[in-house]
Structures are given as structure tokens and as C-alpha cells.
Amino acid sequence: MADRDWKNQTAVTEFIFLGFGDFPDLKILLFLMFLVIYIATVTGNMLITALVVTDQHLHTPMYFFLGNLSCLETCYTSTILPRMLASLLTGDRTISFSGCITQLYFFCALAATECCLLAAMSYDRYLAICKPLHYSTLMNTRFCLQLAAGSGLNGCLATAIFVLFMSHLIFCGPNEIDHFYCDLIPLIKLSCSDTHLSILLDFVLACVFTLPPFLLTLTSYVCILTTILRIPSTTGRQKAFSTCSSHLIVVTIYYGTLMIVHVLPNHDTLNILNKVLSLCYTVLTPLVNPLIYSLRNRDVKEALSKAVSKYVAFTKTGRESSII
């Protein structure tokens, strides 16, 4: 009977983002704030990617993964912020059904890929600190490429299975998504279908594709910290920890906020807190990653300094040539 009722209702063709509420006076301020964040995120991550590609001293496994992460972060934040900026500028908060499913796919695929890439980076640091004599042999170019490609394949495959299943759910109203992007749980709550199987499939795929990278990251850092604590000299401990501290900060911020959002009870009173925390891993994490890696990494700072010096010298030479 329920199935017949769904079929008699008009299918939803578009959704409406509720975002952070309707505050006309704050629209321009929010637009400018998120625009600056987006420009800074793209510029910072692309700069790190360019440095890793062009500087010979950064052609190592650690910086190979860092370049991949920076490129991924640019794509990751670009699945959400441009649409949010357009909504703030025009006031149009609608998104088509196909557009919502597409955003959900790319967001989830890139998030799952980032989990795997962070695990690959932690494994790289584990080999460098715990198995230094075998590091160059084990972490060779071929293996690095396999880890990076496997991370992307893992994220795309897991998400494709789930989103394909999600696209067959029935949406017959209401069509208001209580979020600022097409997130999984708010979208499932709008479905008129029986969503128990969707939630179960999400749990199974998370356990199969996302939990292992998290456990590998956790295990790697337990081994790393254990090894560092065994180093007799304070200088040696500080030097060893400095090589992985930036990555550890990024992992803590990313997984910390991600877990809090998914552990929070699904109550209306916590929706605002949920959205604010969601901003941490969808918007702020891609923004602070370049800052964390550049400010705490001597090699990146040196590469940036050389790049700036070359640019200044090139500009100066160009001006002198034009004068002559």
C-alpha cells in the first residue's frame, strides 16, 4: 500500500539547501569569507603541488604523497564551495536531483580517497622511522604509484556502489536538505523508500573501504611513537618526530572532526553544531593543510624560498630587458 502511495506522488526533481539559515544581512559577509577561504585553499594547495613537481629536492615518497594530497584537497573543496558561493551570491539554494547525486558521489569518493592517502602517508613515515635501512627498497617509485592509484580506485569504487544504490531511492517530498551540501544522512532522511538497507550498505562499505585505512594509520603512528620514545637522545627524538608531526596534526584534525560529526546524535538541536563541525573537514582542513605542511616543514619552506627568488630574478631581468 505504501509503495502505491509513493508512486501516486510527484517525484522530487530538485532539492533546497537550508544551509545555516536565512540571514539576508550576513549573505555578503559569508560570501566574502568563503570566497577568500576558497581562493586561499586552491592557491595554497596548488602551490605545494607545483613545488613538489618542479623542485628536485622534493622528489621523494613523502612529498609525492603530499603533492597528491594537495591536489586532492583542491578537488575536494571544489565539490562544495563553488556551489555554496553561488547560492550566497544569487540566493538560489536549489540543486537538481542529478546535481545532488553527482555532488554526493564526488564528495564521498574524494573523502574515501583522502582516508587511504593519509594511510599511505602514515605507512611511509612508519617505514622511514621504524625501518630506515629498508626504506628506499620498500618505498620505491612503483610502490608509491600503486599506493596513490589504489587510494583513488578504492574511493571511486566504494562510492560508486553506494551512490548507484542511492540513485534508485524514491524521493517524493519534502525536498529541503538541512545542510549546506548533499550529505549522506540528511539526504537519506528525505527518502520515501525504506532506508534500512541503505544505512546497512553505508555501514558495510565504511567498514570494508574506510575502516582499514584508519586502522593502518592508527597502527603506524603507535609504532612510530613507540620507536621515537626508544631513541636515547632528546635531539634524535625531536628530529624523528618533526618528520611526521605535520602529517599527524592533519590526521588528527581530519579524523577527529569526521568522527565527532558521525557520532553526534541525530537531533534537531545538534544540527547547527553538526554543520559547523562539517565545515572543519570540508572547508577548513583543506585550507590549513598547506599552512601546516609549509610552516612546519623546512624542505617546503626552502623550495618556496627558491621559487620566489627565481620569480623575482626573472621579473627583474624582464624589466631590465624592456628598459633597454
Question: Got the DSSP string for 250-280?
Answer: HHHHHHHHHHHHHHS---GGGHHHHHHHHHI
Q: What integer pLDDT is reported at residue 190 of this predicted model?
A: 85
The predicted model gives 184-209 an average pLDDT of 81
State yes or no: pLDDT of 106 exceeds 80: yes
* Amino acid 322: pLDDT: 58
Give the helix/strand (H/E) hosting 284. Answer: none
Give yes or no for residue 210 having a pLDDT over 70: yes
* DSSP element (H, E) containing 14: strand 14-17
Count of H-run helices and E-run strands, the chain: 15, 3
Q: Measured between alpha carbons, how far is 52 from 144 in angstroms, rounded to an integer? A: 15
Whether residue 131 is predicted with pLDDT greater than 50 in this model: the reply is yes
What's the whole-number mean pLDDT along residues 43-59? 89
* 3 state SS of 15: strand
Residue 4 has pLDDT above 70, yes or no: no
d(CA 147, CA 252): 21
Strands of 63-194, DSSP E: 94-96, 176-177
> Is the pLDDT confidence value at 38 over 70?
yes
CA distances, 182 to each of 24, 100, 177, 189 (Å)? 22, 6, 7, 12
What percent of the chain has pLDDT above 70? 90
Q: In the predicted model, is pLDDT for residue 209 greater than 80?
A: no
Rounded Cα gap, residues 252 and 244, in angstroms? 12
pTM for this entry: 0.85
28: CB partners within 8 A, 6+ apart: none
At residue 1, the pLDDT reads 41
- Summarize the confidence of residues 284-302 as an average pLDDT: 79
Provide the pLDDT for residue 295.
Answer: 66
